[in-house]
Structures are given as structure tokens and as C-alpha cells.
Amino acid sequence: MRKMILLFMFVLITNFAHADREKVFTVGVRAYNGIQEAYQMWSPTLAYLEQQQTKYSFYLMPVFGFEQMRRLMETGQLDFVITQPAEAVILQEKYGARIMLTELREYNGKTVSYFSSAVFTRADRKDINNFRDIKGKVFAGIDPEGFGAYWMGLKEIRDAGLKENKDFKVVFTGTQDKVVDYVLAGSADMGSVRSGILESMAKKGRIKLSDIKVINSVSDGLPLLHSTRLYPEWAFLAGKNADEQTVTDMQNILTNIPRDSQVLKDGNYAGWIMPVSYISIYELMRSLDIGLYEKKQFFGFADWPFYLKVLVPIAFIWILILLYVGFSVYRK
């Protein structure tokens, strides 16, 4: 609670300190593990942006739900966004945003611009050793539109020939830490979190890695426990109304943050680079028929509400009766 109060004080003080600047930009950030962690991760970055120029200040807005993020973008309430790659692609295609930077992370001395997903179960689950073993069981993800903590793992299970809600049940927990908690507590049999979450929780003393079994563990250069192919890291996006000069200024500032800067240590990342290709995100969504490629579901009679199932046949019968009566009167 004390940290939360200090973070809110920081935001208020920052706004007052830069009230004389030309404009205040609102930056929406994906708060995938809660509001406190969102402020801890991204407040230093926005403070750094303010320190490096004198025209603009920045207001951080943690955003929890995908619908909320898209509504805020559509209504012009967000000037910039920091979010996971699948949502970044959707915001770019549907709401005119532009991916202007890709995040860098550093693990064991290696700097990367990509990440993966760890699909895991409890170490003592002898009955679960591959993706197909989720059949008839429960799979945990963060959210129906979660990327590293659902879609990545879901693609591997689909490729193994299984379909969610048909061959296995899915539960959503709201945060990635809770995905891990669900699996370890036995509330779910298998779960999916972004690469690095398991190691981070172990470092904090929340879990023991010896209690975890990663399914289809991959060795491809990413020095973290993971199960899937690699996808581009988080993106920094400019809203459709952001002018080119402001975007260019922000790109220059953020791509030149010194590697030993405190802002990177506070934000727990390694820097920013100009955007990498996000084509693999399109390919994943297309293969799963989700996101940009979600198919509109056809509703048959079985999907109608109960009252329609009753009223429509009755109305149809009355129409037939009226037509019969009318035709009989006409013949006479």
C-alpha cells in the first residue's frame, strides 16, 4: 500500500511540475499483473521521456481489459500505448495506431527482442507429459485474449489436434501469477504464462521451479523456460492523431537510453529498438481464427433464446392459419 501511495504521489507531482508544457500525452499501458506493477514498470520510462525534452509531459493510465483498451483508443482518450504484440497489431489494424518501437529484454546477459510461452504442469503429474495429455482436463490462461499467457499455448495444443471447450476445459485467472497458483493448487491441470514469469516468481520466493514441469521444453537461444516458438516483444504505439515530429522525438529518446541507465533497471527491460516484423502475430491469429481473423459465429435454431424458440413457431403457425382462412374466403 505504501508503494502504491508513493506512485500516485509521483504522478500528481509530475503533472503539477510540468503544467506549463505544451501538451500532456496519455499513455495507456497493459496492466497484466495489476495497477501497482504497471506503475512500477512504466513510470520511470515516462519520467525519463519528460526529462529529455521540454515540450511534453506524460500521464500513465493502467488498462486492464482488452475491450477497455480498444474503447479508449477508439474514442481518442489514449495518445500512446505500451502493450503486448497481439493487441498492438489489432490496435494498428483497427484503430489507426502505429507500432513505433519494440521492447528489448535481457536474460543472463543476452539481449532479445522476442519472447515465448511456458506451458507447464506440476512436477508430480506423471499423467501429463505432452500437449495432448490435456485432453479431458483443465487448462488455465490469463484471459480469452491473452497472448503469452493463452494464445501461444493454445496454438500448440490446437496443433496437437485438440480443441478448447470440446476436448478440454479452459479457465481464466485474470493475472499470470494466478495461472501458476491455479496449476500448483490443482485447480487446473496445465497452464500457460509468458516466458520469464516462472523464473521471476521463483526469484521472489513465490514458487520453487522444482515443483514445475514445462511441457515441450525448447532450446532455441532464449535463456528461459519455454514451450513455443518465439514472437516479437511488446510494442510502444502511437495513436492515430500523434504527429510525426513527436513520434520521431520519442523514438530518438527511447532508442538511445544508455544501457546502464537506472530507468532500464527500474522498468526491468533492456531498451527499445525500431519496430521488428510482427508478421508472426498475424500468422498465429489466422491459424487460430482469433483476433483480426475471428470468424462470426452462425447461430442456428439451437442457439436462439427460449422465448424465440416458442414465439417464432407460434407466429409461423398463426400466419399459416390466417393465410388458409384468407384463401378460403377468397374462393367463396
Summarised one tens digit per residue, pLDDT across range 25-79 is 999 999 887 888 899 999 999 999 999 999 999 999 999 888 999 999 999 999 9
pLDDT at 102: 98
Q: Are 99 and 275 in contact (CB under 8 A)?
A: yes
> Which tens digits make up the pLDDT trace of 198-207?
999 999 999 9
Rounded Cα distance between 216 and 331, Å, is 77
Structural domain includes residue 300 = no
Average pLDDT, the chain: 89
DSSP for 96-133 reads --EEEEEEEEEETTEEESEE-EEEEEETT-TT--SGGG
Question: Could you tell me if 7 and 100 lie in one domain?
Answer: yes
Rounded Cα distance between 163 and 112, Å, is 32
* Ranges of the chain whose pLDDT falls below 50: 2-6, 298-299, 303
pLDDT at 6: 44
Question: Could you tell me if 52 and 102 lie in one domain?
Answer: yes
pLDDT at 298: 46
Rounded Cα distance between 22 and 114, Å, is 36
Number of structural domains (the chain) is 3
Domain range for 323: 307-331
Question: Could you tell me if 91 and 40 lie in one domain?
Answer: yes
Question: Could you tell me if 179 and 269 lie in one domain?
Answer: no
Structural domain includes residue 220 = no
Q: Are 180 and 198 in contact (CB under 8 A)?
A: yes
Question: Could you tell me if 89 and 153 lie in one domain?
Answer: no
The dihedral through the CA atoms of 292, 69, 181, 37 has a sign that is positive
* CATH number of the domain that residue 155 is part of: 3.40.190.10
pLDDT at 296: 60
Sorted by sequence, the CB contacts under 8 Å of residue 254 that are 6+ apart come out as 45, 49, 101, 236, 271, 272
Question: Could you tell me if 270 and 312 lie in one domain?
Answer: no
Question: Could you tell me if 169 and 239 lie in one domain?
Answer: no
Question: Could you tell me if 104 and 165 lie in one domain?
Answer: no
The SS3 assignment for 241 reads coil
Question: Could you tell me if 188 and 120 lie in one domain?
Answer: yes
Structural domain includes residue 79 = yes
